[in-house]
Chains A and B, each alone.
Chain A
Amino acid sequence: MIWQLLAGNLTNGLVLGAVYGLATMGLSLIFGVLRVVNVGHGQFIMVGAFVTLIMFTALGLSPVVAIPAALLLGIALGFAFFYTIIRRLIKAPELASLLATFAIGILLEEIVKHIFGAEFRGYNWDLGKIVLPITVIPMTKVYAFIGSIVIAALLYLWFNRTKMGTAIRTVVEDSEGARVCGVNVGWSYALSFAIGIGLTVMSGVFLTMFIPVGINPYMGGLYTLKAFVIAVLGGLTSPYGAFFAGLIFGLIENGSYTLFALIPGVEPFALTRFLTFLILLIILLIRPTGLLGAKK
């Protein structure tokens, strides 16, 4: 019985993990290229969730349409914040960019709150479900799983098969060296930031399919923290590392929840969170290049 429950929860964890992975790729991309930790990361996910909700409830458009809309909005926001704020903080001490991105996050939260209100809202998009011997998964989640993998693969191809992607990879390796070789480092920064934010906002569309209680403007902070753990697991600078770490994180989260629930007298949900932060600390201390990263 417990094994079946565990297997079912792990399957769900894997499905959710792919979306977590997608939701963290932007954070790792931005840190890898600009060395800026986006502390307002989760708030961009929240923006994507609201795009989905508004398009679905007010305009009657399917979340499939929300995916490109969120991506474009995210890229636009990314360029806007990059050229107004982030560009001037790249060379500043960490404190400046940490505080600035946190403030950007608060700004997004407050704007959304004042427009749409602070209460939880949800939408119902039912496409049937898949019945497996161990668990039942709604089709929307299956599509989110497949969509996340496809997008991660497209990003991989863009990075490894195009000139611009290669240029950005060289900036990650050594920005001075890239500049010497004629790479337009400033544009690489801007583009990476915009794509990073675009991916993050877009991942908000997929995440709404996993949030039964609905979304609200303050949902982001939690995803910032989760994204930190995932990004560290994946080595912080690598978007694909982040994607695979997302899968692992989904498994850890659901698996450990199932096991903690067996212990009487504890709150399994909080202990699961505790475990993830413990993992974050252990990885940072013994293997800061990430679980999948190469040893230095």
Chain B
Amino acid sequence: MRLKIEKYYPLIPVYAAYLVMFLIGRTMPSMWQMVALLAFYCAIGQAFNIFLGMTGYVDFGYVAFMALGTYGMALGITAFYQTGLGIGIIFIGLLLGVVMATLLSLAVGSVALRLRGAYFAIATIGVNEGFRYFVEGAKIWGGSEGMIFSRELKEAFGAEMASQLSTLWADVAVFIIAVVAAFVTIYYMRGKIGYALTALREDEDAAKVMGINVTKYKIIAFITSAAFAGLIGAMAWALKLTYVFPPDVFKIHYTIECIIVVLLGGAGTLLGPVVGGLIYAFSKYWLAVVAPGFQLLIFAPIIIAIIMAFPEGIMGLVKRRAKGTGWEKYII
């Protein structure tokens, strides 16, 4: 039994970081928006890492799963706001978002995961863009105008509760998602799937020859990662902003942000997305204040420098340093 618990020690620094963030946000109301931003990037990094970090496959269309989560919540609220189900409609929306993201990932995963490397990356971009233009072109779900549902939300919950949902509970939910995603990450890492995916990352053909069902584990990681993206989209985008606008929710820049967070912190590590998410969100927030309009001009060379200087990310370096010391069991 002791051994089993020890497996989960690396969660301690992760949860400690989340707890500190949460407490800072709750005790200082002026900090809550920033803390929510930090939590968003940590959560999305955590979710993206489950697939990218563990398999090494680059999903360039990852934002599509967040988009579907957002649409799920939007559809749930607009369809059920008059039924008097109370908070139930939020759960319906959340469920719809997750189911839709999961179904798309199942469809994409079962066909596109046969492709490797750059071909997979291009295929996933194709899925993301294709889906966006299908929504706009066929005029489903509001077409290119998207959906606005702040009125529906107010009607269902009253003005005060609706604003509470958007400004407080949506952010709290993101924290919870980040906590669960971290747990799932380590559960996978320390389980059979983690070993299988490590083998796959090193040499996919060899892993196959050794009798590992690589396709199965790839799809599990892909779907898990997509389901979390759906949850985050439903909460951090739909419920928080109370609208969905296709050019925004399918924007490739969000996928890139996920990649940066994971790569900066260290792909395939548990603490990496937290470290990467905090650094990225802090610098984004800070640059927006000190150098508005110049954020991207400053970010682009930094990204290139990071790729060239620390391809294994911050936690990759820390992990190597910690090897053989007492810290080792807290860091993966």
Contact = CB atoms under 8 A, between A and B. Distances in A.
Interface of A: 31, 35, 37, 85, 88-89, 92-96, 98-100, 102-104, 106-107, 109-111, 114, 221, 225, 228-229, 232, 236, 260, 265-274, 277-278, 280-281, 284-285, 288
Contacts of B115: 284-285, 288
Q: Which among A95, A285, A288 has the greatest number of chain B C-beta atoms within 10 A?
A: A95
B137 A37 contact: no
Contact of B133 (A35, A106, A274, A284): A274
Contacts of A110: 294, 296-297, 300
Chain A to chain B: the 7 pairs with minimum beta-carbon distance, closest first: A277-B130, A271-B137, A270-B137, A270-B136, A274-B133, A107-B300, A110-B297
A137 B226 CA distance: 47
A285 B252 contact: no
Interface stretch (B72-80, B116-124, B160-168): B116-124
Q: Which among B114, B130, B139, B299 has the greatest number of chain A C-beta atoms within 10 A?
A: B130
Interface in B271-315: 294, 296-297, 299-301, 303-304, 307-308, 311
Given A271-B138, A273-B137, A95 B58 contact: yes
10 contacts: A98-B118, A103-B301, A110-B297, A269-B137, A273-B133, A274-B133, A280-B130, A281-B112, A285-B115, A288-B119
Nearest to A36: B118
Interface string B166-178: 0000000000000
Contact of B139 (A88, A114, A267): A267
A30 to B, nearest CB: 11
A267 B137 contact: yes
A159 B245 CA distance: 46
Contacts of B260: 99
B129 A273 contact: yes
B127 interface: yes
A160 B307 CA distance: 36
Nearest to A274: B133
Contacts of A272: 137
B197 interface: no
Contacts of A85: 304, 308
Nearest to B125: A228
A260 B133 CA distance: 13
A114 B297 contact: yes
A277 B133 contact: yes
Contacts of A266: 137-139
A35 B118 contact: yes
B25 interface: no
Contacts of A265: 139
A93 B56 contact: yes
Interface of B: 52, 56, 58, 60, 111-112, 114-115, 117-119, 121-123, 125-127, 129-130, 133-134, 136-139, 143-144, 252, 256, 259-260, 263, 267, 294, 296-297, 299-301, 303-304, 307-308, 311
A98 B139 contact: no
B49 to A, nearest CB: 12
Looking at chain B's contact residues, the main secondary structure is helix
Contact of A106 (B125, B136, B144, B296): B296
Contacts of A114: 294, 297
A270 B129 CA distance: 10
B126 A277 contact: yes
A284 B122 contact: yes
A103 to B, nearest CB: 4
Contact of B123 (A35, A94, A103, A284): A284
Given A110-B296, A266-B137, A269-B137, A96 B118 contact: no
Contacts of B56: 93, 95
Contact of A280 (B60, B122, B294, B300): B122
B296 A274 contact: no
Contacts of B136: 267, 270
A272 B136 CA distance: 11
Contacts of B307: 89, 92, 96, 99-100, 103
A284 B119 contact: yes
A99 B303 contact: yes
A85 B300 CA distance: 13
A225 B123 contact: no
Given A89-B307, A107-B297, A225-B125, A95 B259 contact: yes
Nearest to A225: B129
B117 A94 contact: yes
A109 B27 CA distance: 41
A186 B19 CA distance: 51
A181 B128 CA distance: 43
B125 A267 contact: no
Contacts of B52: 95
Contacts of B297: 107, 110-111, 114
B143 A99 contact: no
Contacts of A277: 126-127, 129-130, 133
Contacts of A229: 126
B122 A270 contact: no
B137 to A, nearest CB: 3
A104 B136 CA distance: 30
B121 A107 contact: no
Contact of B311 (A96, A107, A221): A96
A88 B311 CA distance: 11
Contact of B126 (A99, A109, A228): A228
B9 to A, nearest CB: 29
Contact of B137 (A92, A111, A221, A274): A274
